[in-house]
Amino acid sequence: MPMRDYSLVGPEAEKAVQKGLTTGEWYRTDIPRKQMKELMQRSDGPAIRDTILWFALFILFGAGGFYFWGTWWCVPFFLCYGVLYGSSSDSRWHECGHGTAFKTRWMNDVIYHIASFMIMREPVIWRWSHTRHHTDSIIVGRDPEIVATRPPNLFQIFLYFFGITTAPKALQKMAIHAMGRMTGEEKTFVPESEWTKVYVIARIHLAIHALPFALALYFGSWLPLMYFGVLPLMYGAWLGVYFGLTQHAGLAEDVLDHRLNSRTVYMNPVFRFVYWNMNYHIEHHIFPMVSYHALPKLHAIMLPDLPRPYPSTIAAHRDIVGAMLRQQKDPTWTIQPELPDTAKPYQPHLQATIAPMPAE
Amino acid sequence: MSNNWIEACPADEIEEEDVIRFDHGGRTFAIYRSADDEYFATDGLCTHEQVHLADGLVMDDIIECPKHNGRFNYKTGEAKSAPVCVNLQTYPVKLEGGKVFVQLD
């Protein structure tokens, strides 16, 4: 069976509009306004605490890597540094992009720009891309952030773990923007009023990306390349990809109910620090106004209306790998998580062949 | 100026620093009560993606859209941050007999 066309300028984009997927009402769990207001309240405290810890860990692991450079002892330090740089930057980019991490706007903006550079996501392009992802989550032809296509390209997904395709592709896009051009797909979700900003920031990012190479040449050492730019993203992206795949992979496309296309997975506190609670992904998609630090509380409220959360990332990946292998033969097959009796039924959807979630 | 004052809701129906939805004549509006007990009215749908602002969060002079976190100054209608780029229409509001009236065009 041929792969669907995931581009935003192909026939699927038009089909999504014709099917009413771009104008439909998304399912929302009923939560009283008073309770919702409490959940949406902003606070600087948790994100300031987490950000101080974040920078402290960068210094700790970075200093350890520097001290032990030239010995095998530097490996665990750079392994942790890489995860901070190439994986935890994903959640900081995400949460600050929504503007929900801090109450103070400029704090969100500063961390958003730092994290965007780390994860090589141009801040203006990806702000708009993520906006579209929330408007048309996993709608083929509309959502620019679908990672696992059908059938999934397993080799490409494997390469994501090491940024082997993502980093060069990001540099290529930056070069295109630095030359004052936008791609056809980008023009579908970034308003023209923002393009100049895209070009300027791309030039700045490219210049900063050149800096570690210049420093490496100047000092005659690989060490500067380990700390910022392309390399730490590549050696540190793996955990972010491992987490990121749990968000939507193997689940339904072209539905208007986030309980069918998103996944909530329980994680340990260390993972949740790295991921800033994005493991509560159904909750986040239904209520993107709720800050990361309030998501566990939102989860507890929504639990009766949610499919059974996955008990661990391993359990989630067991299902994802199973689904991806099955989708190699039948790309229409998808996981349909079972709802508890307390939940409202799934919003009627357009998927023809949704199979029940395999028993544990 | 039009004299088309429409009764929207009892004043105490809106909590301080909050917003409610008001539908009239096939249109939808958002009525706000600020932290210093003033009332304001705007169009009810976000200018970005037609989402009801009454489900959003009021913070100081800002209403934040519940879908994409776009922000408007609800007192002036000014679009403050992406993804909203188009200002929000505002409407005059008055209080009479404990009720909120909105002047529609």
Tell me the C-alpha distance between B12 and B99, whole Å: 8
- In terms of C-beta density within 10 A (0-12 exposed, 13-18 middle, 19 or more buried), how is residue A32 classed? exposed
Instruction: Nearest chain A residue to B20 by CA: give it.
Output: A33
Local confidence band at A278 (pLDDT 50, 70, 90 cut-offs): very high
Local confidence band at A351 (pLDDT 50, 70, 90 cut-offs): very low
Q: Does the beta carbon of B81 lie under 8 angstroms from any beta carbon of chain A? A: yes
Residues B43 and B29 sit within 8 Å (Cβ to Cβ): yes
- What's the gap in Å between the CA of A124 and the closest CA on chain B? 9
Tell me the C-alpha distance between A86 and A76, whole Å: 15
Tell me the C-alpha distance between A54 and A64, whole Å: 15
Tell me the pLDDT tens digit for each residue of A161-220: 999 999 999 999 999 999 999 999 999 999 999 999 999 999 999 999 999 999 999 999
Inter-chain touch A99–B57, beta carbons under 8 Å: no
Matching residue, tokens 């992009």? A97
Predicted pLDDT of residue A22: 87
Tell me the pLDDT tens digit for each residue of A128-144: 999 999 999 999 999 99
Domains of chain B (ranges plus CATH)? 5-103 (2.102.10.10)
Predicted pLDDT of residue A349: 61
Instruction: Nearest chain B residue to A43 by CA: give it.
Output: B59
Inter-chain touch A99–B66, beta carbons under 8 Å: no
pLDDT at A355 over 60: no
Select the residue of A37, A103, A127 nearest B18 (Cβ to Cβ). Answer: A37
Local confidence band at A2 (pLDDT 50, 70, 90 cut-offs): low
- In terms of C-beta density within 10 A (0-12 exposed, 13-18 middle, 19 or more buried), how is residue A229 classed? buried
- Is the complex ipTM more than 0.85? yes
Q: Which residues contact A219 (CB under 8 A, 6 or more apart)?
A: none
3-state secondary structure at position A228: coil
Query: In chain B, what residues touch A105 (CB-CB under 8 Å)?
Result: 81
CB crowding A137-172: b at 16 or more within 10 Å, else e: bbbbbbbbbbebbbbbeeeebeebbbbeebbeebee
How far apart, in Å, do the first and last CA atoms of chain B sit?
A: 8
- What's the gap in Å between the CA of A353 and the closest CA on chain B? 29
Predicted pLDDT of residue A194: 95
Tell me the pLDDT tens digit for each residue of A16-70: 999 889 877 899 999 999 999 999 999 999 999 999 999 999 999 999 999 999 9
Inter-chain touch A105–B85, beta carbons under 8 Å: no
| Host H or E run for residue B102 | strand B99-103
Predicted pLDDT of residue A354: 39
pTM greater than 0.90 (yes/no): yes
Tell me the C-alpha distance between B40 and B31, whole Å: 6
Which of A122, A228, A231 has its CA nearest to residue A167?
A231
Structure tokens at A238: 């793996």
Within chain B, residue ranges assigned H as helices are none
Predicted pLDDT of residue A360: 39
Instruction: Nearest chain B residue to A22 by CA: give it.
Output: B49
